[in-house]
Amino acid sequence: MKSMEEMIQAAQQAAQTIQKQMEDAQGRLDAIEIEGVAGGGLVRIKASAKGRVIGVSIDDSLMAASEKGILEDLVAAAFNDARTRADATAAEEMQKVQMAAGIPPGFKLPF
């Protein structure tokens, strides 16, 4: 039987391992690029899986002054599409880390 000190030490090591895995996963999420699109591809926004906007691409055909309102709506829609996809990808990646660490499904970590 292990002593209480050995069990505490093992728990601390496990917590450190999980913390490291979570930090690594967060780093990977920022490297994953997701693209959101709107207007049949006329507006595109690239974002990281953490939600950082990497770039915006607007088709030249939308640059007429009379189309300003439509363009603004499409940019917002593309950003929201990218954010939704980024959130889903982030959730999948974090679930992989939790499963690898033996954390039960549905357990919420404070990260």
Q: How far is CA 42 from CA 1, 32, 57, in A?
A: 66, 22, 8
Evaluate if residue 1 carries a pLDDT over 60: no
Per-residue burial over 15-46, b if 16 or more Cβ lie within 10 Å, else e, is eeebeebbeebbebbeeeebbbbbbeebbbbb
pTM higher than the cut 0.75: no
Task: For the chain, give every domain's residue range.
Answer: 4-100
CB 67 within 8 A of CB 47: no
Superfamily of domain 4-100: Nucleoid-associated protein YbaB-like domain (3.30.1310.10)
Task: Average the pLDDT over 18-47 and give the result.
Answer: 88
Residues in a beta bridge with 55: 46
Q: 73-110: per-residue pLDDT in tens?
A: 888 889 889 888 988 888 888 888 877 777 776 666 65
CB 22 within 8 A of CB 109: yes
Percent above pLDDT 70 for the chain? 93
